[in-house]
């Protein structure tokens, strides 16, 4: 009986030790899981590759942030339409999807510290003489619905906005001659106008970015704990130069 009690006590002690050990199976099971939404229609930031995997700068960046901050991340492909409402009702904890930090958005949601600076640029057909959005007066410019690109087009009188569910559809329409220009974030413009093989030589980026914008990771308004956790990861990613490695991989 004494031997049995001693054996039981030893088992209990071993169990406590394993649970407390950093990196143990038990510790891993207790690791916080953060569910993140991303609209995978915005290459090279977020997209689906030929193997049906969710890839891109934002995906790698979010995984790096999670690793540095010590939490697990599950990233779900989510349509842009309704993506902000989803975090509001708790369908997921955060959004990383090339979301520009704006004063208007900050009233409805909280953001991490900025992780990418990306301004809006104008993309036009290679033969176009347009230099700025105002040069498209009497014509049609495209942008993804609800984006800052769409907001910039609306500011210019005389230019008709055609909004799309996916940014890729805007380039398909411009290639077909149905619209005369596109306003989008600099990384997206570079991907479609300069890197995408099927559009080589068809488009050009005119001028320099005409807005100063920053991307941030979105969380529900008031969730300071999660914002602080994500910021901890971003700071570590920046301090270690991981962000520069990802920029070289995806944006250059």
- Alpha carbon distances (Å) from 187 to 44, 146, 184, 224: 7, 18, 8, 29
Q: How far apart are CA 131 and CA 194, in angstroms?
A: 17
Contacts of 171 (CB under 8 A, 6+ apart): 123, 182, 192, 196, 199, 203
- Alpha carbon distances (Å) from 23 to 29, 30, 66, 166: 10, 10, 15, 41
Label residue 202 left, alpha or beta by phi (over 0 means left) and psi (-120 to 50 means alpha): alpha
CATH code linked to domain 31-117+214-250:
3.40.190.10
pLDDT tens for residues 95-114?
999 999 999 999 999 999 99
Q: pLDDT category, 136, cuts 50, 70, 90?
A: very high
How many other C-beta atoms lie within 10 A of the C-beta of residue 109? Answer: 20
Q: Which of 29, 127, 118, 91 is nearest to 219 (CA)?
A: 91
Q: How far apart are CA 28 and CA 226, in angstroms?
A: 19
Does the reported pTM lie above 0.85?
A: no
Residue 87 near residue 109 (C-beta atoms within 8 A): yes
| Superfamily grouping for domain 120-206 | Periplasmic binding protein-like II (3.40.190.10)
Where do you find CATH 3.40.190.10 in the chain?
31-117+214-250, 120-206
pLDDT tens for residues 16-68?
444 444 333 333 457 899 999 999 998 889 999 999 999 999 999 999 999 99
Q: Could you give the percent of the chain with pLDDT greater than 70?
A: 88
E runs forming strands in 100-178: 109-111, 116-117, 120-125, 140-144, 160-164
Q: How far apart are CA 149 and CA 142, in angstroms?
A: 8
pLDDT tens for residues 71-92?
999 999 999 999 999 999 999 9
């Amino acid at each position: 009986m004494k031997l049995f009690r001693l054996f039981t006590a030893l088992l209990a002690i071993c169990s406590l030790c394993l649970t407390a050990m950093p990196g143990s199976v038990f510790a891993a099971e207790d690791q916080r899981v953060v569910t993140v939404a991303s609209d995978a229609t915005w290459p090279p930031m977020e997209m689906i590759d030929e193997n049906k995997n969710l890839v891109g700068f934002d995906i790698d960046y979010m995984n790096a942030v999670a690793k540095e901050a010590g939490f697990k991340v599950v990233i779900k492909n989510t349509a842009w339409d309704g993506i902000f409402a989803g975090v509001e009702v708790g369908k997921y904890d955060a959004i990383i999807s090339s979301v520009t930090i704006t004063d208007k958005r900050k009233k409805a949601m909280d953001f991490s510290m900025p992780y990418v600076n990306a301004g809006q640029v104008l993309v036009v057909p290679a033969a176009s003489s347009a230099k700025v959005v105002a040069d498209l007066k009497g014509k049609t410019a495209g942008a993804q619905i609800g984006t800052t690109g769409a907001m910039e087009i609306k500011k210019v009188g005389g230019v008709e906005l055609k909004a799309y569910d996916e940014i890729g559809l805007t380039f398909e329409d411009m290639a077909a001659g149905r619209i005369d220009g596109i306003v989008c974030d600099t990384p997206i413009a570079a991907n479609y106008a300069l890197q995408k093989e099927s559009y080589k030589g068809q488009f050009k980026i005119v001028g320099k970015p005409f807005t100063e914008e920053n991307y941030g990771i979105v969380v529900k308004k008031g969730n300071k704990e999660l914002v602080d956790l994500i910021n901890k990861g971003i700071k570590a990613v920046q301090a270690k130069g991981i962000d520069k490695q990802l920029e070289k991989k995806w944006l250059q």
